[in-house]
Amino acid sequence: MEEMHLKIAMISEHASPLALAGGVDAGGQNVYVDSVARRLAAQGHQVDVLTRRDHPSLRAIVEMTPGVRVLHVDAGPSRFIPKEELLDYMPAFAHQAQFMLHGEGPYDAIHANFFMSGWVGLVLRPVLRAPLVTTFHALGLVRREHQGKADAFPPARESIERTLVRCSDRLIAECPQDRSDLIRLYDASPQRIETIPCGVDTQMFQPGLRSQARARLGLSQGEFIVLQLGRMVARKGIDNVIRALALLPPSVPARLVVVGGESRFPDPQASPELDRLMRLAHATGVIDRVSFVGRRDRAELSDWYVAADVFVTTPWYEPFGITPLEAMACARPVIGSNVGGIAHTVCDGVTGYLVPPRQPLELARRLAELHAQPRLAQAMGYAGLARVHHCFTWDQVARDLAGVFGALAGRPVSALPRTLRPHLTRNVGPMARDVAGRRI
């Protein structure tokens, strides 16, 4: 059978693949969109990524790599806006996207990433006459369960997500917990859910010599280095790791290295979360054994993983989590919270350990075990490496997604039901804004 080459419109309203050099809101979705788009193109497909212009210097169309174009959509001011405040600009985004895609020819699929991109996808589906596949990356009701009043997204998010669950041609769950949440909280049809995980770049992240990585980074060769890497936000549970460090016996010469934050040079005055964590390290008596190194570019991260003895990530809420896969690709054992995607990627007792979130004593116990048994830690690291190559490469993720897109391509696409048209407009609210930021 001749291989099908597809044309895909990928929507990612706030997470541009070009933002990976580091931004306030750059994270796992940026990595996902970048990696999936590149691998789809490498497999012969054509991808147009639509993302909001957040800087005036960005060109309208940027060729990211052969087969992948990034289209910067004018929707609101050309500056950074927190994603929690972007919903009012989605009508302008959808309008401008239609204008930019006019005359581009037929698309085989629309892949929406996040609920606001899904809203745009519902508007574009009858225009492009292409099926809509939605990956939420995070679900509003799950976020609210874990974050409560700290969740700053508008209430309309829930009804938009429910509409997308009913109306998307396919839903992509990134792990078994994600699938379960879609069914439990949104009454999603199991037959319309495909479970396809995130992946890891096994060329960028691979095993290396710990001693050489530490020498390059200026880290001690004699310390037991615990690595925490990711965004500096409360839900990541970095405070839990600091408390665990304080509970380790004096015989464990441990150092916690925290990579991440809003700037390359940590500034507690500019980051309330960093200030809180530094105060906690002082209060627990471990400030001299905690190194906050700031944000690092993706090309630099491999050395930090390789330099570590163990990677730790104990959030109390995590939709998927790519960093455990990156650590596993570098053959490092992972201790992670038994939540969300981490409970799927980390095999307890095989590639590392799963621990309850917010229980530093249990984390300290597992850290002490790995320090006392370096051969076990090494075996877990290589078991993680094998698991990544078997289950979590971006090539496999892209092939699985292309299979979903291809199975839907060419099917008749119905217009949005009339009963949902005012519903969608109402969700965006009376403060909807145009390209210039004016109310519409």
Rg of the chain (C-alpha set): 22
Q: Mind listing the pLDDT tens digit for each residue in 10-55?
A: 999 999 999 854 444 557 899 999 999 999 999 999 999 999 999 9
pLDDT in tens, 284-320: 999 999 999 999 988 899 999 999 999 999 998 888 8
The reported pLDDT for the residue numbered 270 is 87
Band the pLDDT of 430: cuts 50, 70, 90: very low
Tokens of 290: 């905690």
- Note the pLDDT of residue 424: 52
Say how many residues make up the chain. 440
Comparing 423 with 405, the larger pLDDT belongs to 405
Strand partners, 227: 257, 311
Q: Is 167 helix (H, G, I), strand (E, B) or coil?
A: helix
* Residues 72, 383: Cα–Cα separation, whole Å: 41
Domains and CATH numbers, the chain: 7-199+394-428 (3.40.50.2000), 210-391 (3.40.50.2000)
Residues 148-160 have pLDDT tens digits of 777 789 999 999 9
Name the pTM for this structure.
Answer: 0.90
169-205 burial, b at 16+ Cβ within 10 Å, e below that, comes to: bbbbbbbebbbebbeebbebeeeebbebbbbbbbeeb
* Residue partners of 254: CB distance under 8 A and separation at least 6: 223, 224, 225, 226, 245, 248, 289, 367, 371
pLDDT single digits (tens) 220-244: 999 999 999 988 888 899 999 999 9
Torsion angle defined by CA atoms of residues 263, 264, 267 and 272, in that order, rounded to the nearest 10 degrees = 40
CA dist., res. 409 & res. 295, Å (int): 41
